[in-house]
Structure 1
Amino acid sequence: MKTVKFIDLFAGIGGLRLGFEQALQSLGFTPDCLLSSEIDKEARQVYEANFSETPKGDIQTITSLPAHDILLAGFPCQSFSYAGKKAGFGDTRGTLFFEILRLIDSQKPKAFIFENVRGLVSHDQGKTLNTIRKKMQERGYSFDLFLLNSSNYGVPQNRVRAYMMGVFNQTPHFKLVSDLGAKDSHSYDSGQLSLFSVSKPPCKVRDILEDNPHQHYDCSAEFTTALQRFLEGDLEKLHGVRLIDYRGGNSIHSWELGLRGDCTSEEIDLMNRFITKRRNKVFGQHQDGKLLTQAQIASFYKNPNLGKLLASLVDKNYLQVIEDKYKPVAGNFSFEVYKFLDPDKISVTLVASDANRLGVYHRGRVRRITPREAARLQGFPDSFQLHPNETKAYRQLGNSVTIPVVKAIAQELLENLIPAAKI
Structure 2
Amino acid sequence: MSKNDPYAALRFKEFNLFLIMRFLLVFAWSMQFIVIEWQVYALTKDPLSLGIIGLMEIIPAFTMALFAGHIVDQREKRNLLAICLAAFSIISFALFWLTSDTVSQSWSKDSLLYSIYALVFFGGFLRSFFGPTIFSLVALIVPKKIYPNAATWNSSTWQMSRVLGVAFAGFSIGWIGVHYSLCIVFALVMAALFMVFQISRKPILNPKIGEPVMQSLKEGVSFVFKTKAILGAITLDMVSVLFGGAVALLAVFAEDILKVGPQGFGILVAAPSVGAFLTMLVTAYIPISKNAGMKLLVAIFGFGVCIVVFGLSSTFWISVVALFFSGVTDGVSMVIRQTILQLKTPDNMRGRVSSVNSMFVGSSNELGAFESGLTAKLMGTATAVVFGGSMTLITVVTTAIVSPSFRKLDLTKDFEANN
Does the TM-score normalized on the shorter chain lie above 0.5? Answer: no
Q: Which has the higher contact order (CA 8 A, sep 6+)?
A: 2
Provide the TM-score with structure 1 as the length reference: 0.23
Judging by fraction of residues, say which structure has more helix. Answer: 2
Larger Rg: 1
Judging by fraction of residues, say which structure has more strand. Answer: 1
